[in-house]
A and B are shown apart, each in its own frame.
Chain A
């Protein structure tokens, strides 16, 4: 039982490049989330998906897009990376969407030069 997996673990991009962060969960959870974590700040919600086929903006959605491909997978895309998007990105899932326990992936460390 792998839980929540994320790829890649590390990535270096140049300003303006695009990339997609992948996330998958094998716990049959309905809800999935993308967060970013910056030094001195709490995790901030970028986008979430309460159920398959739905996505909604979180606190900091600008510069990102998401796709809930199926119940297992939720991807995050940076269309034109900026240095301000240098961060650690965490994907999470939960059974419901009301603040129940969230299970996090190991994170993706992204550096935009």
Chain B
């Protein structure tokens, strides 16, 4: 089992729709969690950190479920510009060497 697992997709949804995807992690001691966005042939960029209490940034909401060991990303009122690959990132402990990237979920928004 991979340490961080994501559904590779692609998720193909119409503009304006709400879409959500999850990321599961295997190490229950994991300490910090992030969502990064990666456009085609570009570098990853931080989308948002995921806090225990959940957090929201505009149309994006991230949540953490420690009991079930997953994090989620919800995108409301999706835009064409949201088309990208979304990477789940988990830090197993406080060491930089324990940062694990998921392989990403591809999202495609159609007009």
* Chain A residues near B (Cβ < 8 Å): 31, 33, 35, 40-45, 48, 50, 56-59, 90, 94, 97-99, 101-102, 104-107
In the assembly, what is the distance between CA of A31 and CA of B34, in Å? 18
- Beta-carbon contact of B97 and A56 below 8 Å: yes
Alpha-carbon separation in the docked complex, A90 to B49 (Å): 21
**Interface size class of chain B, counting residues whose CB lies under 8 Å from the partner chain:** 20 to 34
- The contact of B95 among A41, A42, A97, by CB within 8 Å, is A97
User: From residue 92 to 111 of chain B, which have CB atoms closer than 8 A to chain A?
Assistant: 94-97, 99-104
Closest chain-A Cβ to B50's Cβ sits at a distance in Å of 11
Query: Of A33, A42, A94, A104, which is within 8 A of B102 by CB?
Result: A42
B96:A48 contact, CB within 8 angstroms:
yes
Binding site for A on B (CB under 8 A): 4, 8, 31-32, 34, 42-46, 49, 87, 89, 91, 94-97, 99-104
Taking CB atoms, residues of chain A closer than 8 Å to B8 are 40
Verify B103–A40 contact, CB threshold 8 A. Answer: yes
Most chain B CB within a 10 A radius of its CB, from A42, A48, A94, A101: A42
Q: How far is the CB of B10 from chain A (nearest CB, A)?
A: 13
Q: Are A45 and B31 in contact (CB under 8 A)?
A: no
